[in-house]
Amino acid sequence: MRGGIGFWAGLCFTLLISAFLILPIFVSVIAGVTANQFIGISSGFTTRWLLDVWANYGGTVLLSLQIAFATLAITLMLGVPAAYVLARHAGVTARLIEEALVMPVAVPGLATALGLILAYGAVGGLRSSWFFILIGHVIFCLPFMLRAVLAVLLAIDLKRLEEAARACGATWAQRFFGVIVPNIRGGILAGSLMVVTLSLGEFNMTLLLHTPFTRTLPVGLADAYTALRTEMASAYTLIFFALIVPLLSGMQWVVSRMDQPGGSR
Amino acid sequence: MSIAISLRNCGKTWPGGARGLLPIDMEITAGETLVLLGPSGCGKTTLLRLIAGLELPDDGGTVLFDGKEVTRLPIERRNVGMVFQSYALFPNMDVAANIGYGLRVRGIPKNETQKRVAEMLEMMRLTDFRHRRIDALSGGQRQRVALARAIAPRPQVLLLDEPLSALDARLRDQLRQEIDALLRALGITAIYVTHDQSEAMALGDRICVMEAGRIAQIGSGRDLYHNPANEFVAHFIGDANKNVVINGEVILRPEDLRLRPNPNGAFIITRVTFLGPVLRVMVRHDDGQELRADVPDDPSLQPGTQVEVILRKSSLMAAER
């Protein structure tokens, strides 16, 4: 296998594609810490743009995190039980409900946002509250949680495991939290990473749902770009990376720590 | 503590109308091991699940544990132990945690749980594996964990659904003996589902042969072998020749036939297989009927030899239809 011309050709091709994909990120990150973008790296490095971004858009970062974790909490509370019920029922109704829950993925975010504004925009103080964005993010992210968890639920022998737990005398709550949830951890983690990533980066829907007081990170980023402050936008992107990479790795680490036999009670 | 089980008029019709089990009555005495034996789809697992509380019988059926009705009591409140064909061990727990699960969910104090888990590990020779993950165990070890998990909470009834069918032949033999010894030692009422007649013979105080959703016959292995109620039972328990020329409508066990070379005999040997303890000989009658005979080794019995068939006395079994 190794050493053949095919191997080297394949390796070169893979590296080229990877470089093509990574280059914009790299350039953007460098631009964010370059003193003068028109002169280039020779102008030296600075943290000025980063500080400027934090001063102007720091609030958007915090709001985005707040919305992302609230979305995660809600999609966990709705998505995991929903997937469990769908996995236990094989009928047509269950499949129709599954399709309906997954539908928002197929609808453009702008259309969903418009629908939300038309339907609920006039309800109390909802329109000006960050909850309005949260609702949109939950609608958009729920299918991803549902599908990730459902896939794992269908892969394990759910029915048999539950019957075995029942035979041991376990109540519904005991077997759900003691047997089912620990055995679908992988799916819950995959869904959670997806939801946090999607929520943090969600732009389409948030563009319509936000107000000047509820700007999220991607909306602020678009604002920075449209104001032609490329170095600011680049620094902004850098902050986004600095935020999301440790966050996602951290979540994975926590779950891998939990993955010890006998650990669950 | 073991209990008697009674089933009254218990049938099971699946949604869609298929009959899984025709209404049956059955009495299982305290401490006995009853084997449900039959081909797949005969209703044996359905019957077991009715007793377990995993299925509800059709209207009018009742399940009694020691005279008390438990028909609508779900399995988690029946105090039964169950062993599944696929083991159904919890992959998120190690061996000891699996065995202790039934004790923990029942709220038994921690030190008592630990003590009983240690006993179970010892009894099942799993002590060295107590911290192993389930996926790091062999099939036989997994089945021993499943057994230990089922009996650790000291259930009133032990239900076993084809517990050995996923194992290879040698391991199956060994575990069968272990289960037999275990059931004797516990003195627990046990119901054991299998499609393997030798398993049924080895384990069952009584065997219930099932066919197409009904009970074909219940009795000891000896009863079923020597006095089968019908052709189905005769063929399911051991080998049988049927509808033979001698004596008209009878069922004959191959070991009840003896062959004597005789140029005027009505049978001709078609095939001879040396099996060790016996010589298995296929003979064909002039009219085309075939018989199987298991006889002591005899070099004079060769394919093509004309023989007469002699029936050992007391071997006639009336075949009811």
Question: Do the Cβ atoms of A261 and B97 come within 8 Å?
Answer: yes
Q: Where are the alpha helices (DSSP H) in B214-260?
A: 221-226, 231-236
Q: A60 to each of A116, A134, A194, A213, A247, how far by Cα in Å?
A: 22, 14, 20, 9, 17
Mutate to test the interface with B, among A92, A157, A168 (most CBs of B within 10 A): A168
Using a CB-CB distance cutoff of 8 angstroms, which residues of chain B are in contact with residue A155? none
The sign of the dihedral angle between the CA atoms of B84, B86, B92, B94 is positive
Which residue stretches of chain B have pLDDT < 70?
1, 240-250, 313-321
Nearest to B92 among A160, A170, A264 (CB): A264
Using a CB-CB distance cutoff of 8 angstroms, which residues of chain B are in contact with residue A182? 90, 92
Whole-prediction pTM value? 0.78
Distance to chain A for B300, nearest Cα, Å: 56
Distance to chain B for A247, nearest Cα, Å: 25
For the CA atoms of A102, A104, A108, A109, the dihedral, rounded to the nearest 10 degrees, stands at -130
Query: Would you place residue A165 in the very low, low, confident or very high pLDDT band (cuts 50, 70, 90)?
Result: very high
Distance to chain A for B269, nearest Cα, Å: 51
Residue A127, pLDDT above cutoff 50: yes
Helix axes B139-151, B110-123, angle to 10 degrees: 140
Mean model confidence pLDDT for chain A: 86
Radius of gyration of chain A (CA): 23
Question: Do the Cβ atoms of A169 and B84 come within 8 Å?
Answer: no
Strand partners, B208: B36, B218
- How would you class A83 by CB atoms within 10 Å of its CB: exposed for 0-12, middle for 13-18, buried for 19 or more? buried
Q: Find the mean pLDDT for residues A41-62.
A: 81
Q: Find the mean pLDDT for residues A120-143.
A: 89
Q: Does B210 touch chain A (CB under 8 A)?
A: no
pLDDT of residue B121: 93
Q: Find the mean pLDDT for residues A46-60.
A: 82
Using a CB-CB distance cutoff of 8 angstroms, which residues of chain A are in contact with residue B96? 262
Nearest to A183 among B52, B54, B91 (CB): B91
Residue A82, pLDDT above cutoff 80: yes
Question: Do the Cβ atoms of A167 and B150 come within 8 Å?
Answer: yes
Measured between CA atoms, the residue of chain B closest to residue A161 is B88
Distance CA B30, CA A21 (A): 72
Q: Kindly report which listed range (A45-54, A145-154, B117-126, B157-166) carries the lowest average pLDDT score.
A: A45-54
HSE-CB at A133 with a 13 A cutoff on CA atoms is 32
Q: What percent of chain A has pLDDT over 90?
A: 38
Residue appearing with tokens 């191959």: B254
Q: Does B265 touch chain A (CB under 8 A)?
A: no
In sequence order, the 6+-apart residues with CB closer than 8 A to the CB of B131 are A261, A262, B94, B95, B96
Torsion-angle region of B125 (φ positive above 0: left; ψ -120 to 50: alpha; else: beta): left
pLDDT of residue B241: 67
Distance to chain A for B27, nearest Cα, Å: 22
pLDDT of residue B318: 47
pLDDT of residue B113: 93
CB atoms within 10 A of CB A91: 8
Distance CA A236, CA A226 (A): 13
pLDDT of residue B246: 44
Measured between CA atoms, the residue of chain B closest to residue A172 is B76
Pairing of the two strands B68-69 and B62-65: antiparallel
Nearest to B212 by CA among B42, B68, B46, B86: B42
Distance CA B73, CA B70 (A): 5
Residue A52, pLDDT above cutoff 90: no
Residues 222-261 of A with CB under 8 A from B: 261
Query: Would you place residue A263 in the very low, low, confident or very high pLDDT band (cuts 50, 70, 90)?
Result: very low
Give CA B307 to chain center in angstroms: 38
Measured between CA atoms, the residue of chain A closest to residue B101 is A168
pLDDT of residue B289: 81
DSSP per-residue string spanning B76-122: GGTTEEEE-TT----TTSBHHHHHHHHHHHTT--HHHHHHHHHHHHH
Higher pLDDT, A229 or A151: A151
Beta carbons of A131 and A71 less than 8 angstroms apart: no
Query: Would you place residue A17 in the very low, low, confident or very high pLDDT band (cuts 50, 70, 90)?
Result: very high
- Count how many pairs of residues, chain A against chain B, have C-beta atoms within 8 Å: 84
pLDDT of residue A1: 54
Q: Find the mean pLDDT for residues A89-112.
A: 85
Residue appearing with tokens 């050995």: B164
Q: Does B162 touch chain A (CB under 8 A)?
A: no
Q: Kindly report which listed range (A13-17, A238-242, B138-142, B278-282) carries the lowest average pLDDT score.
A: A238-242
Helix-strand-coil percent breakdown of chain B, rounded to 5?
30, 30, 40
Which SS3 state, helix, strand or coil, does residue A186 take? Answer: helix
CB atoms within 10 A of CB A240: 20
pLDDT of residue A265: 37
N-to-C CA span, chain B = 41
Nearest to B54 by CA among B22, B31, B21, B80: B80
pLDDT of residue B110: 92
Question: Do the Cβ atoms of B102 and A169 come within 8 Å?
Answer: yes
pLDDT of residue B319: 42
Q: Does A201 touch chain B (CB under 8 A)?
A: no
Distance to chain A for B106, nearest Cα, Å: 7
Residue B57 DSSP class: P
